[in-house]
């Protein structure tokens, strides 16, 4: 891997600027909405909804406590609610939103990927990952994705629809229930971290994602009581949405899926870059860091002979030097039939050294979960009827378990903990 300035790679992966603009989808297709759910509503709205059903408003607090705090799974267990009202309240405010289609595990059962069918047949995935000191849920925010990244099968397949706030929250609640039932090795526990790195572009579904963040962070019985500092929201770089998120007063971690430090390559790898350039995306990220005091995570999928040149590491280092940021390097986990592959180990090490020479903290994530179709969306793609289309969530590419949102960087050393998230 050479160290000087070079043009785009002149080999079989050579890039040419597209002759046509990649179609980006920022507005999801209109589809039937999922049924109303408790998690879609604020506490005031829940009380109003219960009153509409002819019950005392405080029943909303009881129902919320069962869902968010006790993780109650059936109406029969809600014995503090009148029997006559119980079924009606549950049917109206706690409808079934997710149906488990398939679940697979690796890492001794501590990494569990679940394929869910939504009310309209769309498929999405979530992943529960247990570490010695925490439990992380990786959740989907859309069925499919409209951002069109060529190394990401989900983006290539397009967007089916946005998920509702409750459909997102329910993925986390399902993981919390699995822990409470003792289904995950390591004993009972609670979900401590949530990363929006599953299917979809979270900030393209801004209202529902923000609602989900607020439900996850609110203390019980309003929400799950997960610290906002332990929630990560990723984006390919929707600048207006980043700017809007910075003003919300929520100290969540922002993860920017950069993947290239120069506009020429990023225009191709991340087509939204044709609308908001690298400088604009990073400018919004630095403003986010300034407003929130939160370190920005720069996600960078290393693709062999595409974006792993040393001169690109130099450019990235210059862009990030002195900033409140760290880099997560993700060796690409290609989807079946893809021409894309992970960087050579020596090129990966050289890339890390270059970044470290600028004082930029770096973590290289171990890619795991390939034995369970680790790249996001591959369970959906393998399911009969789960092809990209009206009834399926769409597959994505890189799979890597997320680094801790808080804490010191790993100084470029490969993490020894298992990594199997649905990262871009």
pLDDT one-digit tens code per residue, 221-271? 999 999 999 999 999 999 999 999 999 999 999 999 999 999 999 999 999
Q: Let me know: does 117 contact 379? Beta carbons within 8 Å.
A: no
Q: Extract the runs of DSSP E, i.e. beta strands, from 278-339.
A: 296-302, 325-331
Contact (CB, 8 A) for 253 and 297: yes
**Residue 123 has what pLDDT?**
93
Q: Which residues of 325-347 are buried (b: 16+ CB within 10 A; e: fewer)?
A: bbbbbbbbbbbeebebbbbeeeb
- What band does 417 get if pLDDT is binned at 50, 70 and 90? very low
Structure confidence at residue 56 as a pLDDT band (50, 70, 90): very high
DSSP string, 119-132: TTS-EEEEEEEE-S
pLDDT tens-digit map of 279-321: 999 999 999 999 999 999 999 999 999 999 999 999 999 999 9
Selection from 120-124, 254-258, 416-420 with the highest mean pLDDT: 254-258
pLDDT band at 23 (very low <50, low <70, confident <90, very high): confident
pLDDT at 157: 73
More confident residue, 394 or 70: 70
Binding-site residue numbers for S-adenosyl-L-methionine are 200-201, 234, 257-259, 333
pLDDT for the residue numbered 32: 85
- Given 55, 138, 222, 376, which residue is catalytic? 376
- Report how far residue 21's alpha carbon sits from residue 381's, in angstroms, rounded to the nearest whole number: 26
Give the whole-angstrom CA distance, residue 119 versus residue 423: 25
Supply the pLDDT for residue 6. 42
- Domains of the chain by range and CATH? 38-93 (1.10.150.530), 99-382 (3.20.20.70)
Residue-level pLDDT at 324: 98
| pLDDT higher than threshold 90 for residue 165 | yes
What distance in Å separates the CA atoms of residue 328 and residue 343, rounded to the nearest whole number? 14
Annotated binding site for [4Fe-4S] cluster: 145, 149, 152
Backbone angle region of 66, left / alpha / beta, with phi > 0 → left and psi within -120 to 50 → alpha: alpha
Catalytic annotation present for 125: yes
Q: Which residue has the tokens 């009206």?
A: 390
pTM: 0.86
pLDDT tens track for 133-162: 999 999 999 999 989 888 887 777 789 999
Active site residue 376: yes
Chain centre distance of CA 146? 15
- Share the mean pLDDT of the chain: 85
pLDDT above 70: percentage of residues in the chain? 80
Q: What share of the chain is helix, strand, coil (3-state, %, to 5)?
A: 35, 15, 50
**Chain segment 335-390, per-residue pLDDT in tens:** 767 788 999 999 999 999 999 999 999 999 865 455 555 556 666 666 665 543 34
- Residue positions forming the annotated binding site: 145, 149, 152, 200-201, 234, 257-259, 333
Residues 6+ apart with CB under 8 A from 353: 412
The model's pLDDT over 189-220, given as tens digits with 9 standing for 90+, comes to 999 999 999 999 999 999 999 999 999 999 99
Whether 8 has a pLDDT exceeding 70, the answer reads no
Q: Which of 52, 73, 125, 383 is the catalytic position?
A: 125
């Amino acid at each position: 891997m050479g160290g000087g300035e070079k043009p785009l790679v002149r080999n079989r992966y050579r890039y040419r600027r597209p002759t046509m603009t990649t179609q980006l989808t920022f507005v999801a297709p209109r589809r039937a909405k999922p049924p109303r759910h408790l998690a879609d509503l604020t506490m005031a709205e829940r009380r109003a909804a219960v009153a509409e059903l002819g019950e005392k408003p405080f029943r909303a607090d009881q129902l919320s406590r069962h869902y968010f705090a006790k993780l109650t799974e059936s109406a029969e267990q809600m014995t503090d609610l009148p029997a006559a009202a119980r079924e009606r309240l549950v049917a109206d405010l706690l409808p079934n939103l997710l149906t488990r289609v398939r679940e697979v595990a690796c890492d001794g059962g501590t990494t569990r990927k679940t394929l869910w069918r939504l009310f309209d047949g769309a498929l999405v995935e979530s992943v529960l990952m247990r570490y010695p000191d925490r439990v992380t849920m990786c959740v989907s925010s859309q069925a499919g994705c409209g951002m069109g990244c060529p190394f990401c099968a989900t983006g290539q397949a397009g967007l089916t629809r946005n998920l509702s706030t409750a459909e997102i929250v329910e993925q986390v609640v399902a993981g919390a229930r699995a822990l409470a039932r003792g289904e995950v090795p390591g004993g009972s526990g609670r979900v401590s971290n949530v990363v929006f790195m599953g299917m979809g572009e979270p900030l393209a579904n801004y209202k529902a994602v923000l609602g989900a963040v607020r439900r996850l962070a609110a203390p019980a019985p309003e929400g799950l009581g997960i610290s906002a500092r332990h929630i990560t929201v990723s984006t390919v770089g929707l600048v207006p949405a980043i700017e809007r998120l910075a003003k919300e007063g929520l100290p969540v971690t922002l993860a920017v899926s950069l993947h290239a430090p120069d506009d020429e390559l990023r225009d191709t790898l991340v087509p939204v870059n044709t609308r908001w350039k690298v400088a604009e995306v990073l400018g919004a990220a630095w403003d986010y860091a300034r407003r929130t005091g939160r370190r920005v995570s720069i996600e960078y999928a290393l693709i062999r002979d595409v974006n792993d040149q040393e001169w690109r590491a130099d450019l990235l280092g210059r862009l990030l030097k002195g900033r409140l940021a760290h880099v997560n390097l993700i060796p690409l986990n290609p989807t079946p039939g893809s021409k894309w592959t992970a960087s050579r180990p020596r090129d990966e090490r050289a890339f890390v050294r270059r970044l470290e020479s600028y004082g930029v903290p770096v973590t290289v994530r171990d890619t795991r979960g390939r034995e369970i179709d680790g790249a996001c969306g591959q369970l959906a793609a393998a399911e009969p009827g789960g092809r990209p289309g009206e009834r399926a969530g769409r597959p994505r590419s890189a799979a890597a378990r997320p680094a801790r949102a808080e804490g010191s960087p790993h100084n470029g050393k490969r993490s020894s903990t298992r990594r199997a998230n649905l990262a871009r």
